[in-house]
Amino acid sequence: MNPKVDWYFSKNETWQKELEQLRSIVLDCGLTEELKWGCPCYQYQNRNVVLLHVFKEYCAVLFFKGALLNDEHAVLVQQTENVQAARQMRFTNIKEVVKLKKVLKAYIYEAIEVEKAGLKVPLKKTTEFRMPEEFEMRLTKSKTLKKAFEALTPGRQRAYLLYFSSAKQAKTREARIEKYIPQIMSGKGLDD
């Protein structure tokens, strides 16, 4: 146990019992506990394997490369359609945690084997993401904007494309694009 992480378990009163049990299970698998993104993160040789986090209706163990796991018990959940690699195992009460303890441990050991083997989740290329027509027109009209967008990391490019294209109305897409042009021009990502 890493004392830097203890505060996380004491602050989550709603899920405290579940989180403490999950922590115990994960640590029993021989992983190292760290604090990353404000959550308990468990590593194998400095590589992220799982993360514990809470939501309003559930707490979860997130497998960073969950898409590569053989989900024989059909318990892994893809958070949204845009999440490519990670998968969650969700719990809504302590009884579920206890009931699924063996399954969870088996999945953690499999995730460790994925890390040992150096496997990587094949990610979609940025060009495979839908380019909103409104943004494509702006890039065509401004070589400077196009150059700035192309200079962004692939992850930042994908974030913008997902955000722009998620708006249903053209008017909203245009407003989003207009708002973030200065950020793109300064080489920043959506959340920078």
pLDDT in tens, 68-98: 999 999 999 998 877 889 999 999 999 999 9
pLDDT of residue 125: 81
Residue 169 has pLDDT above 80, yes or no: yes
Q: Is residue 192 part of a domain?
A: no
- When mean pLDDT is compared across 2-6, 104-108, 168-172, the lowest value belongs to 2-6
Q: Does 148 lie in the same domain as 111?
A: no
pLDDT of residue 87: 97
The C-alpha atoms of residue 36 and residue 41 are separated, in whole angstroms, by 6
Q: Does 104 lie in the same domain as 136?
A: no
Confidence tier at 130 by pLDDT (50, 70, 90) = confident
Q: Does 148 lie in the same domain as 181?
A: yes
pLDDT of residue 148: 97
% of the chain with per-residue pLDDT over 90: 78
Residue 99 has pLDDT above 80, yes or no: yes
Q: Does 169 lie in the same domain as 144?
A: yes
Q: Is residue 108 part of a domain?
A: yes
- Please name the residues in contact with 125: beta carbons below 8 A apart, sequence gap of 6 or more: 154
pLDDT of residue 149: 96
Q: Does 131 lie in the same domain as 109?
A: no
pLDDT digits (tens, 9 = 90+) for 42-74: 999 999 999 999 999 999 999 999 999 999 999
Torsion of CA 117, 154, 160, 69, to 10 degrees: -10
Q: Does 84 lie in the same domain as 43?
A: yes
Q: What is the overall mean pLDDT for the chain?
A: 93
Q: Does 111 lie in the same domain as 24?
A: yes
Q: Does 140 lie in the same domain as 63?
A: no
Confidence tier at 127 by pLDDT (50, 70, 90) = confident
> What is the domain count for the chain?
2
The C-alpha atoms of residue 50 and residue 42 are separated, in whole angstroms, by 5
- Please name the residues in contact with 14: beta carbons below 8 A apart, sequence gap of 6 or more: 54
Q: Does 91 lie in the same domain as 17?
A: yes
Q: Does 141 lie in the same domain as 112?
A: no
Q: Is residue 190 part of a domain?
A: no
Confidence tier at 102 by pLDDT (50, 70, 90) = very high
Residue 126 has pLDDT above 90, yes or no: no
Q: Is residue 191 part of a domain?
A: no
Range of the domain at 162: 126-185
Average of pLDDT values for 143-171?
93
Q: Does 104 lie in the same domain as 133?
A: no
Q: Is residue 14 part of a domain?
A: yes
% of the chain with per-residue pLDDT over 70: 100
